Chains A and B, each alone.
Chain A
C-alpha cells in the first residue's frame, strides 16, 4: 500500500509539461461536453418545473375567464378579459362558506386534538415509567401497519349507531389521535436531555408540569411540523369525509368539489374557482412555512 501511493505521487510530480499538452486538450473537450450536459440537464429540470406550475396557473386562468373565451381559444393559459363570474357561480351553486368552515373545523379541530393527545402519550412513553409501557408502545406501532381502509366499514357502522354521521364529532373524534404522530413525537422526546425532567422534579414539579412547561416548549419545532402536515393531510382528505358525510352541508371541500365536478354540463369557471379557493389556504401556508412542510414530510411521509 505505501509503495503504491509513492509511485502514484511521483507519477504526478514527474510528468513533464510537454507530455501533458494533449491530455489538457482532451480534458478541455471533456469539460465542454460536461458543460453541455449540465446545460441540457438544467433545461430539462426547468421545463419539468414549468410542467409542475402551469396546470395551477391554467386553473386560475379558467377560474377568472368566461366560458366563450375558454372555448374560443383553449390554448391560452391566462384570460383575455378577467371576470369574477366563476367565483360568483361556485358561491351560488355550492354552500361554499359552509364548506370552508367545515373543512377548517375538521382539519383544525382534529389536528389540535391530535397534537395534544399524541404529545401526552408520547411524553408518557418516552419519559415516564409505568407497567405495560412497552406493550402499549408495540400495540400502537402495530396499528400503524394496518391500512385505514380496513377500519373504514366498522367505524362507519359505529358512527351510524352513535348517530354521528354528518356531524363534526363524527368527522373529528376518530381522527383525534394518530399512531404515526405518537411514534414521531416519542422519537423526538427521547432526544431531549433527561436532566431537564430531573431538575424539575427536584424543584417539586409533577409530571404534568414537566410535560407542559418543559417538554412541550422544547418540542415546538417538531409540533409545528406535525401540525402543518397533519392539517394539510386532513384538509386534503377525501375518502374519510366522503364516508362520514353525505349531506352537502356537512361535507368538506374535496368531497363536495368531486361530486360537483362529476355533474353534467359543468361550469368550468365555477369548478376551477372552487378548486383554486380550496387550494389557497395550503398554498399560503406553504409559501410562509415551507421549512416546516419539508421537515414534516421528510420525517413522516404523511400526505
Chain B
C-alpha cells in the first residue's frame, strides 16, 4: 500500500498523488454520476422485480380496486395448467434444437470462412445479415415465403415435383418449421462470435500442428476447438436464454397456432397479462420462466467448469 506501487487495472488501486486527498471532500461527486442509472434501474427494474413477485401471490386483475392475497395458488394453478405445460414443451423444444443447431452450423461456417479473403468476407456478411433483421420482419417474410399459394418455397418444390404441405397450418410441421427459421436467423450470431474467437488462435499453433503431420480435421479438433471453448459456452448460454424468451417469431409467423402447437411461454404470459388482464397469473408465469432460465444457465456453466477441470 505504498504510493510507489505500480498502477494496476482495478478500481481504486491507483497511486495517490502526493498532496492530494489529505482533506476528505464533503460531497463525493461519484453519486451524481451514478444517480440517473441507479434511479432508473431502481424504478423500472429492481422495484418491478419485487412487485412482480408480490403480484404473483395475488389474484390481481386490472381495474379491480383490491387484490386478494392467494398465497401460492397461482403457482399451483400453473402446475395444473395444461396450456402452460404445452407452452413450456414448445419453448424447450425450440430452445434446445435452435441452440444446438445454430452453434454447430455456426461453427462449421466459421471454420470454412476463417481465413479473410474478399469472398469469405462477402459470405460472412450474407450469413450475418438475417441476424440484424428484426424477428418480426423475418417472421413476416417467412410466413409468406411458406404460403402455399404465393410462397417461393412451395413453388420451387412444386417445380421439382414435390407437392409440399401447408407448413404453418400443419399441427405436426408448424413447430419444426419455426425451429428451422430460428436456426436460419441465428446462425450468423454464432458464426461471428466463434470467428472472433478463432482469429485469436496464434498462427504458429497451426504451423506446429502441420509440421507434426496433423491433417485439416486434426488441426480443427486439437487446435481450434479447445481454444473455442469459452466462445462456445458464451454462444450456447446466450442462445439458450434468448430461446427461452421466444415470442416475436411465433407471434409474427403463427400467432401460436395451429391450436397452440407453437405457443411459447412468453406468448402465454402476454395473453394472460395483456389480453385477459390476469396480471397475478402472468407474474407467476414470468417467475417460473425466470427460475427455469436461472437453473439452465447455472447447469450450463457448471458443466463447462466441470469439463475444464478435466
Q: Do A and B bind each other?
A: yes
**Which residues on A are within 8 Å of B, measured CB to CB?**
34, 41-42, 45-46, 48-56, 58-59, 62, 70-71, 73-75, 77, 116-118, 120-121, 123-131, 133, 136, 139-140, 143, 145-147, 149-158, 160, 173-174, 176-177, 179, 182, 190-191, 193-195, 197-198, 201-202, 206-208, 211, 232, 235-239, 243, 254-255, 257-258, 261-262, 268, 271-272, 275, 278-279, 282-283, 286, 290, 293-294, 297-298, 301, 303
Closest Cβ–Cβ distance, residue A192 to chain B (whole Å) = 9
Residues of A with C-beta under 8 A to B287: 150
Smallest CB gap from B245: residue in A: A147
B11 touches A126 (CB 8 A): yes
Residues of A with C-beta under 8 A to B189: 297, 301, 303
Closest Cβ–Cβ distance, residue B5 to chain A (whole Å) = 12
Whether B226 is near chain A, meaning CB under 8 Å from some CB there, is no
Smallest CB gap from B157: residue in A: A75
6 closest A-B pairs by CB: A236-B134, A154-B48, A75-B155, A124-B33, A151-B48, A301-B238
B interface secondary structure, majority: helix
Smallest CB gap from A202: residue in B: B17
Q: Which of B30, B132, B151, B184 has a CB less than 8 Å from the CB of A74?
A: B151
A49 touches B123 (CB 8 A): yes
B266 touches A236 (CB 8 A): no
Q: A51-B184, A153-B283, A190-B9 are known contacts. Are A301 and B193 too (CB-CB below 8 A)? A: yes
Whether B293 is near chain A, meaning CB under 8 Å from some CB there, is yes
Known: A147-B245, A257-B140. 16 other contacts (CB 8 A): A48-B127, A52-B129, A58-B145, A74-B150, A74-B155, A120-B34, A152-B286, A154-B48, A154-B283, A160-B62, A173-B40, A176-B36, A198-B14, A238-B134, A279-B134, A301-B235
Residues of B with C-beta under 8 A to A59: 141
Q: List 16 A-B contacts (CB under 8 A).
A: A45-B123, A120-B36, A147-B245, A150-B48, A151-B48, A153-B48, A153-B283, A154-B52, A157-B51, A157-B279, A174-B40, A191-B9, A261-B252, A282-B133, A297-B193, A301-B193
Interface string of B280-291 (1 = CB under 8 A from A): 001100110110
A48 touches B109 (CB 8 A): yes
Q: Which of B10, B188, B245 has a CB less than 8 Å from the CB of A149?
A: B245
By size class, the interface of chain B is 35 or more
Bound complex: CA A236 to CA B135 (Å): 7
A77 touches B152 (CB 8 A): yes
Residues of A with C-beta under 8 A to B155: 73-75
A interface secondary structure, majority: helix
Residues of B with C-beta under 8 A to A42: 112
Bound complex: CA A193 to CA B6 (Å): 11
Smallest CB gap from B20: residue in A: A201
Q: A147-B290, A147-B293, A290-B125 are known contacts. Are A158 and B48 too (CB-CB below 8 A)? A: yes
Q: Which of B49, B109, B134, B244 has a CB less than 8 Å from the CB of A254?
A: B134
Bound complex: CA A127 to CA B13 (Å): 9
Closest Cβ–Cβ distance, residue B285 to chain A (whole Å) = 8
Q: A52-B126, A136-B34, A147-B289 are known contacts. Are A41 and B112 too (CB-CB below 8 A)? A: yes
A279 touches B133 (CB 8 A): yes
Bound complex: CA A70 to CA B140 (Å): 17
Q: A236-B134, A254-B248 are known contacts. Are A130 and B215 too (CB-CB below 8 A)? A: no
Residues of B with C-beta under 8 A to A174: 40, 44
Interface string of B126-164 (1 = CB under 8 A from A): 111111111111111111110001111011101100000
Bound complex: CA A153 to CA B48 (Å): 8
Which of B77-85, B169-177, B201-209, B267-275 is near enough to bind chain A? B267-275
A278 touches B134 (CB 8 A): yes
A74 touches B149 (CB 8 A): yes
Bound complex: CA A56 to CA B154 (Å): 17
